[in-house]
């Protein structure tokens, strides 16, 4: 098995890892309720996306509570 001829410098190592840093998630305000929501996702509070009702929030909440009761 081959071995490296020279040790990598710390600068070279860190330059390679420069893209490993975490990026801040960008959020937008929901048009309907004003809550922060992820871009290109339905709002978690009211369930609207692009001016239309995408998710029934109450139905999802009931389903989630049912799942947690079973466990």
**Domain residue extents for the chain:** 25-70
Helix (H, G, I), strand (E, B) or coil at 62: helix
Task: Return the number of other C-beta atoms located less than 10 Å from residue 65's C-beta.
Answer: 9
pTM value surpassing 0.75: no
If phi > 0 it is left, if psi is from -120 to 50 it is alpha, else beta; for residue 57 that is: alpha
Distance of CA 5 to the CA centre of its chain: 41
**Alpha-helix residue ranges (DSSP H) falling in the chain:** 10-16, 57-70
Residue-level pLDDT at 50:
85
pLDDT tens per residue, range 4-23: 889 999 999 999 999 999 98
């Amino acid at each position: 098995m081959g071995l490296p001829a020279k040790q990598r410098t710390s600068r070279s190592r860190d330059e390679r890892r420069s893209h490993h840093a975490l990026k801040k998630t960008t959020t937008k305000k929901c048009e309907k309720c004003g809550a922060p929501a992820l871009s290109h996702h339905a709002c978690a509070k009211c369930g609207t996306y692009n001016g239309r009702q995408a998710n029934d929030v109450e139905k999802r909440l009931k389903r989630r509570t049912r799942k947690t009761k079973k466990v």
